[in-house]
A and B are shown apart, each in its own frame.
Chain A
């Protein structure tokens, strides 16, 4: 329940901010309006106060006129003054009515006016009228000190009543004037504060737009320039208002995609360079590997055609030509093999046969051409039957044995061992030659990798072990080696023991003279 107070979108925030500023500005106007209305009401009140005071003074004047007329009649008993007295009495009631109407909304003032009016009426009814009647009978009696004292008392009471009415009204007016002043000051302060607040809000909104919109647009522009300049790792912060966050996300997506594309291109370029390098190595290697047998072929055929040799020499040279042609064919075969394997077209003609017999054949054949090496054969008593493509296995075993010969250039023994365990048949070829330096060991099965061979003048394509591994993997077999740099290597292959799995007999011609642990020494 984390309610967001701020709207998410940029438009929402700008509209919201403007609304708040407008509301605050309107509030300032309303406060001003209210205080203007207050002022107008106080002016009305003041007018009414003045009218009330005037009305009170008018009534007081009429009362004075009535008193004066009464005095004049009492002194003179001239009947003419009786008319004035009656006239003054008639004018009292309308003046009172006007005053009473003006104080109708003010209870306290109403009470005072009523009390004063009661005094006036009492003066007229209870004092003046009887006194006039007395004066008609006995003028001196009416002019007596008792009457004069009574007149003074009543007159003072009436004066005091009017003073109270007028004083209260003036006090009210003064109080209202104070409150109006306070209200006006308060209204001005509130209006100014609201106006200042509105201005601050508008400025803040402007600043926010400048910072969050302008600033981020500037940042986006800079980032776009960086990308144009090739710096593709640049990213924009994705927070903030929805539209800006969306812009940043779209921008970052574009940058990521560009970066990814460039990485792909670079990787592809690297692969192309590596592939070019491999191709160039291949061409160099092929041209060298082909040239050696070609030199023999061209050289000997040239000599045979140009010169005459005796029959045994002729035969010998033709044998060389034949052998070197086969060597060329074998090189071509290796390449075709590798291509088939790489294209996944290696077809295996599986049959059950004795791996020990195959080892004996290949070792015998290869060591026959290695006069500086001796062969140690250690074969099992019983057949080591595997289900495999015999030609391909011959190729693998021949490769391991010829490597053993090639990589022990100073001669020595090459040992070929076949072991039969319960589940597996294993063939090992050990030499006591150069061994493989530790740093070269991980690349032994890599295509075209020849390690120290090139530097030591050891011929080869760098493909033999790569092909051997592919063949063993196609047979669900394994191939591996252990090597002591300077102390020789043992390469081994393993295949499932077919005799164990099926009890099948190998399809092979019967052999003779095969004793237990036959050891053939020498080539």
Chain B
């Protein structure tokens, strides 16, 4: 899992919510997020739109540029939950948009669903 959020406390919340079943990499800035993505090749990215040094959309674009099939699922978590932002996120190729504040169980359900489907796609 790659967890990108400028707030360390929210990175921790996401990590604790998803539980000990995954290994985690964390990033607070755009450059860190892109570097970590390339380094760890995560199974899934949880991405905040507000990052140090830029927008989560920059990270999303970088991920989609270098994507191989099956593509890495990306869950965008953001407080900027208006329609324009959701649309931008969708156009850039995010799989799901989760507005803040969110219920941890919702995140868990979505992440498990995405990881499962990726696994199945990879196995196929």
Contacts and interface: CB of A to CB of B under 8 A. Distances in A.
B106 to A, nearest CB: 10
B13 A299 contact: yes
B105 A288 contact: no
A458 B52 contact: yes
Interface string B97-113: 00011111100000000
A295 B53 contact: no
B9 interface: yes
A458 B100 CA distance: 17
B74 to A, nearest CB: 17
A93 B16 CA distance: 171
* Chain B interface, DSSP helix/strand/loop, else mixed: mixed
Interface string B49-74: 01111110000000000000000000
B7 interface: yes
A287 B104 contact: no
B16 A292 contact: no
A409 B52 contact: yes
Contact of B17 (A287, A299, A323): A299
A306 B107 CA distance: 14
* Chain A interface, DSSP helix/strand/loop, else mixed: helix
Contacts of B51: 457
Contact of B9 (A296, A303, A409, A457): A296
Interface in A292-324: 292, 294-300, 302-303, 306, 313, 317, 320, 323-324
A313 B30 CA distance: 29
Given A320-B9, A324-B9, A291 B101 contact: yes
B88 to A, nearest CB: 14
A302 B103 contact: yes
Given A291-B100, A302-B104, A303-B104, A296 B13 contact: yes
B48 to A, nearest CB: 8
Given A303-B16, A457-B51, A298 B101 contact: yes
A452 to B, nearest CB: 10
A291 B52 CA distance: 18
Given A296-B7, A457-B6, A457-B50, 15 more contacts: A288-B80, A291-B100, A292-B79, A292-B100, A295-B10, A295-B79, A295-B102, A298-B102, A299-B102, A313-B16, A323-B9, A456-B52, A456-B53, A456-B54, A457-B30
A364 interface: no
Interface in B9-34: 9-10, 12-13, 16-17, 29-30
- B7, B100, B102, most chain A CB atoms within 10 A: B100
Contacts of A323: 9
Contact of B104 (A299, A313, A457, A458): A299
Contacts of A299: 10, 13, 17, 101-104
Nearest to B48: A457
A302 B30 CA distance: 29
Interface residues of A, number: 25
Contacts of B79: 287-288, 291-292, 295
A459 interface: yes
Nearest to A316: B12
B13 A300 contact: yes
Q: Top 4 A-B pairs ranked by shortest CB distance?
A: A291-B79, A295-B101, A299-B13, A295-B100
Contact of B54 (A300, A302, A303, A457): A457
Chain B interface residue count: which class?
A: 20 to 34
A503 interface: no
A287 B12 CA distance: 22
A455 interface: yes
Given A298-B103, A324-B9, A303 B17 contact: yes
Nearest to B7: A292
A302 B103 CA distance: 7
Interface in A274-298: 287-288, 291-292, 294-298
B13 A409 contact: no
A459 B17 contact: no
- A295, A297, A300, A324, most chain B CB atoms within 10 A: A295
26 contacts: A287-B79, A288-B80, A291-B100, A291-B101, A292-B7, A294-B101, A295-B101, A296-B7, A296-B9, A296-B10, A298-B101, A299-B13, A299-B17, A299-B101, A302-B103, A303-B16, A313-B16, A320-B9, A320-B12, A409-B52, A409-B53, A456-B52, A456-B54, A457-B51, A457-B53, A459-B50
A455 B13 CA distance: 24
Contacts of A317: 16
B49 to A, nearest CB: 8
B22 to A, nearest CB: 16
Contacts of B9: 296, 320, 323-324
A185 to B, nearest CB: 103
Contacts of B101: 291, 294-295, 297-299
Nearest to A287: B79
B66 to A, nearest CB: 22
A409 B53 CA distance: 8
B55 A457 contact: yes
B52 A457 contact: yes
Contacts of B104: 299, 302-303, 306
